[in-house]
Amino acid sequence: MKASDLLKSTAEPFDRACVMVAEMEQELVRLRACRYDLVEHLARQQDFSLRTFGPGKRTKGLIDHITKELAEVAANPDDLFEWVDVILLALDGAWRAGYLPEEISEAINAKLDRNMARTWPDWRTADPGKAVEHVREAPEALKIPAFLRSLSD
């Protein structure tokens, strides 16, 4: 094999690898641009909501609106925008309750962490038409000490 043939045979896979790396870098740039700043969103939403719906808690009105949106979700559960309507209304209620965008964002993260740390029943045994709720522990005052539990066995 000539040296020029050897260079051609190794250059082609190298060129393909370079193209693949460049495409992956472009995709990474695109994905980074897709990251969403929730705190920025909440500030925008609050500004829009104040101008459009006025000040105040508006809790009953928000609950009424969420209830209507949930009926729309039930009628069309595959419509992403119906789900987003519920999300936006819930976020509106959170800032109207007096929380700052940073507090809401932190609470969302904290709540997910809390849910992930909880014990959940096996979803395969749950009724798919009912909520799957975490396992609730008995209050400390109602727990039977281990030495007493062993007496009842």
- Reported as a single tens digit per residue, the pLDDT across 121-138 is 998 999 999 999 999 977
**Total structural domains in the chain?**
1
- The model's confidence at residue 33, banded by pLDDT at 50, 70 and 90, is confident
**Triad 70, 71, 72: Cα angle to 5°:** 90
CA 16/CA 10 separation, integer angstroms = 10
Cα–Cα nearest to 134, from 118, 123, 122: 118
In a domain, 80, yes or no: yes
Q: Residue 119 is which amino acid?
A: T
Please check whether residue 62 lies inside any domain of the structure.
yes
The answer for residues whose C-beta is within 8 angstroms of residue 126's C-beta and 6 or more apart is 132
Q: Which of 40, 34, 26, 31 has the alpha carbon at shortest distance from 104?
A: 40
Predicted TM-score (pTM) of this structure? 0.68
Quote the domain boundaries for residue 64.
37-109
Q: What is the mean pLDDT of the chain?
A: 87
